Chain A
Amino acid sequence: MALAAGRFDELRRKVRANSRLRPVGAGSKPALSGWGNLMLEDLRGVLEYDPGEYTFTALAATPLKEIEAVLAENDQYLPFDPPLSEKGATLGGTVAAGLSGPGRLRYGGVRDFLLGVRFIDGRGELISGGGKVVKNAAGFDLPKLMVGSLGQFGVMLELTFKVFPKPQAYVTVELELASLTGALDTMQRLVGSRLEVTSLDLEPPSRLRVRLGGTSEALPTRLARLEHLVGQAGNVLEGSVEQATWRSLREFDWLSEGHGLLKIPVTPGAIAPLEQALAGFDENIPRRYSVAGNVAWLGWPESLGEKRFEKLLDQSGLSALAISGRWSCPLLGAQPGRVFAKRLGCVLDPEGKFQPGDLDAT
């Protein structure tokens, strides 16, 4: 730990000495790390892990893959399925971008698993927030501030998470519905049921992937109930094929060259109008809807440009976060939360070192 302490002091000096700083971990989300100049890739390693307590603390730039491997030794995992781990994504980057994968549906997102954080604020102060135990509710919940903060409140150094035991087995059913409307109806029926679906993603127009996790003995019965509920048998995936299917979705393997990845928070009701708007483009716009229609992941063709995407967001009343591709600013569309974030920024970063203005479109 002596190594980390020395490095923390060095980073504090750097923060004090510089007027424009953006931390970079692995750079797996280039639209966000962009011009980043504070390289943290050496800030890696699991510092504490107590399987009995179901918590761990790791340095902020520890790759998700490394954490997944350590947790897997005890059949534990991060249930929110953090995206891009195969591409090197780090724990800190996942928090800063506020990204969760398909498992968010059943278990909650990254914000629900983050317990504590140590970070350097804009004044160069080392701040500890939250705690290292699951039941901690003292003071303001500073860790939550870091989720989706895009580095504007400080440099994360250490993060403490809670973890869950891994389900013993999974089964996934691929359902091909007759239409988008049919798929959306079925999606709502599944969410409202008592099936406790782990993940539920839509590949438009009409393919649903429904994942169930739990004990191997119970899965066949739950699968039968699922098929009974939706009134059709689907293509059943198990074992390594099943794992690979979700792994591939978490890595956005469906995204093709020349497309910038965007995360668009939606509601199930917003999907049909958005699909209609997208049908007006000749270009291929690859996309998936995750977390039972609450998140859209969309690949915007670079050839279409930013202006036309902004127009689409305006017309749909949506906002987006750019993950990759070329954008003038990663926050797109209406961002009413910026007012609040800026007030907090005045406290955590009074000189605006971490907010050089490029988070807001001009």
Chain B
Amino acid sequence: MGVEKKAYLPEQFGRVEMELMRRLRLAIDPLELANRGKVLSAESHDGSNEWH
């Protein structure tokens, strides 16, 4: 699945899965330097989640 349909990812996976993927990503790349926003939407650092 490409960037274009990224917004539909939460429809395929649930809230719990999206949150888990997010945390897995941050465990490996806490500063989100690698390909930010390609697989998961980047989280804005004020804590609001655009990926819900």
If over half of B's interface residues share one DSSP class (helix, strand or loop), that class is named, otherwise mixed; here it is helix
Query: A20: CB under 8 A from chain B?
Result: no
Interface residues of A in 57-116 (CB under 8 A from B): none
* A128 in contact with B14 given A121-B20, A138-B9 (CB within 8 Å): yes
- B3 to A: closest C-beta gap in Å: 12
- B23 to A: closest C-beta gap in Å: 5
A138 touches B21 (CB 8 A): no
Query: A178: CB under 8 A from chain B?
Result: no
- B8 to A: closest C-beta gap in Å: 8
If over half of A's interface residues share one DSSP class (helix, strand or loop), that class is named, otherwise mixed; here it is mixed
Query: In chain A, what residue has the closest Cβ to B8?
Result: A138
* B16: chain A residues within 8 A (beta carbon): 125-127
B17 touches A347 (CB 8 A): no
B13 touches A139 (CB 8 A): yes
Query: In chain B, what residue has the closest Cβ to A136?
Result: B1
B21 touches A140 (CB 8 A): yes
Query: B35: CB under 8 A from chain A?
Result: no
The digit string for B2-25, where 1 denotes a CB below 8 A from any CB of A, is 000000010011101100110111
- B40 to A: closest C-beta gap in Å: 8
Query: A129: CB under 8 A from chain B?
Result: yes
* A137: chain B residues within 8 A (beta carbon): 1
* B39: chain A residues within 8 A (beta carbon): 139-140
Residues on B lying within 8 angstroms of A by beta carbon are 1, 9, 12-14, 16-17, 20-21, 23-25, 27-28, 39-40
Q: List 12 A-B contacts (CB under 8 A).
A: A125-B20, A128-B14, A128-B17, A137-B1, A138-B13, A139-B12, A140-B21, A343-B28, A347-B23, A347-B24, A347-B27, A348-B24
Residues on A lying within 8 angstroms of B by beta carbon are 121, 125-129, 131, 137-140, 142, 340, 343-344, 346-348
